[in-house]
Chains A and B, each alone.
Chain A
Amino acid sequence: MEPGDIINSGILESYVLGTASVQEVARIHNMLLQHPELQQEIERIEHTLLLVASKDVPEIPSHIKENIRTKVFSENAGTVVVNLAETRPAAKSSYKYGMAASVALLITSAVVNVVLYSKLHVAEQTVADLNQEKSVLAQQMEISRTSLQEAHASIALMGDTMMKTIRLKGLGNSPAAMAYVYWDTRSREVYVNVMELPAPPKGKQYQLWALANGKPVDAGVFSAVDTMQLQKLKVVVEADAFAVTLEKEGGNPTPTLSAMYLMGALH
């Protein structure tokens, strides 16, 4: 089922209204993993329901919130106060009682300490979790921002009319391989955009060559991993064709012709 069909089916509404069956709920949760955009629709439905129910309703008196808050949070504090008050008069009567009271007080205090310590621990944990969540989000944002900038740069470059585009096609080694070379006719800088190229074996790297009058000139090595990115290579003064060979890491001074993967000529 496509996300659009799910949205239109009305099942998300019954999910939020609490009338969906257990199986339907499980199905929706499954689909949410694959289509996070459904989450937005669910939140939209919930928001609408909140507004619908809140509309034209009399104000709730403010003491209601305080009533509930008091009932909810007073319990723990109350117990501690009572314990301390009860131990005090006993201390006066005799050494024995005093001793018993001290012990009781000590125990109470120990219990309170443990409770407070564990609460503190939970609070610290929450802060740490939230901080971590924050830094993860910040990192993700930074990554997204960088890749967006790169994409913008690539688009600008591809649309530049002073940029020559040369399509390199796969040869016998890998007929499906493909890459584009962009050659700036002003600065003579060369960029490569890998579309499809087999991952190089360990210790090997692809190298671009500019061919001028049949003579190969090194244009730099590049990575075949990130196919989304334009990679800036060397400045090439003259070329009537470009070719890619597989060389040892760091490149070779002359191309290994038997390991040629891509080739494309300027028109």
Chain B
Amino acid sequence: MSPKIKYTEEVLIALIRQKDQKAFSYLYDNYSKALYGVIFTILQNEEDSQDVLQAAFLKIWNNFDSYKEEKGRLFTWMLNIVRNAAIDFTRTTASKVSSRIQNLDTNVYEINKQHQHQVNYDHIGLKAAVNKLEDDYQVIIELAYYQGYTQEEISRKLNMPLGTVKTKVRQALIHLRNKMAL
């Protein structure tokens, strides 16, 4: 990798709008791993995840005009695209996915958002750090991050007060941050 320059988000966005090649590299080098991680967590299959990453990244680059700063951060926008691409993929290959389903003793992992086709995800193999979190942290990160549930939806789903959900998301992230800082 060439010497590490750090673009501010503003500069990076401006360069991507100009289809700058270095900005492409920078974007890929800094975000692809995490985006791939999100996809892989949902799909649990390397080859599929690579395909989805490629398609999603093309979409990010080619449809960059539809990114609007006033709607949120660049990462958030990309996360949405990637998450939707992965979830769409599970939908179109729902039969394949269902063969890999593991039985779980809790029902919190069953995903059936009303507006979504009923999909049974794999028990999302959360990372080692997350596994050590208390169960509700785990579920909350999974729903909020990898499934893109809003806090209201999580609150309804887990029958947990909205305020509690909000602080739990924060606590879970702080917990992870501290763990990874070691």
Contacts and interface: CB of A to CB of B under 8 A. Distances in A.
Partners in one complex: yes
Interface of A: 8-11, 13-22, 25-26, 29, 42, 44-46, 48-58, 60-61, 64-65, 67-69, 71-73, 122-123, 126, 129-130, 133
B160 interface: no
B149 A19 contact: yes
Interface residues of B, dominant DSSP:
helix
B2 to A, nearest CB: 14
B166 A25 contact: no
A10, A14, A56 pick with most chain B CB within 10 angstroms: A10
A71 B58 contact: yes
Given A16-B75, A45-B173, A57 B36 contact: yes
B14 A126 contact: yes
Contact of B34 (A15, A29, A50, A68): A50
B61 A68 contact: yes
B54 A18 contact: no
Interface residues of B, number: 58
Contact of B177 (A25, A44, A126, A129): A44
Contact of B18 (A50, A54, A126): A126
B153 to A, nearest CB: 8
B49 to A, nearest CB: 8
Nearest to A129: B14
| Interface pairs A-B: 8 shortest CB-CB | A10-B166, A53-B37, A53-B34, A57-B37, A10-B170, A18-B76, A50-B34, A54-B33
A65 B79 contact: no
Nearest to B76: A18
Interface of B: 11, 14-15, 18-21, 24-25, 28, 31-38, 40-41, 46, 50, 53-54, 57-58, 61-62, 70-73, 75-77, 79-80, 127-130, 141, 144-145, 148-151, 165-170, 173, 176-177, 180
Contacts of A65: 25, 28, 32
Nearest to A25: B72
Nearest to A63: B50
Contacts of B46: 58
A51 B177 CA distance: 8
Contact of B170 (A13, A29, A49): A13
- The secondary-structure label for the interface of chain A is helix
18 contacts: A10-B166, A10-B169, A14-B144, A16-B76, A17-B144, A18-B77, A19-B151, A44-B177, A45-B173, A48-B177, A48-B180, A52-B129, A52-B130, A55-B128, A58-B40, A60-B32, A71-B58, A72-B58
Contact of B36 (A19, A60, A67): A60
Contacts of A130: 11
A44 B73 CA distance: 13
Given A17-B79, A57-B36, A64-B50, A10 B167 contact: yes
A41 B151 CA distance: 19
A57 B61 contact: no
B8 to A, nearest CB: 9
A46 B38 contact: no
A64 B173 contact: no
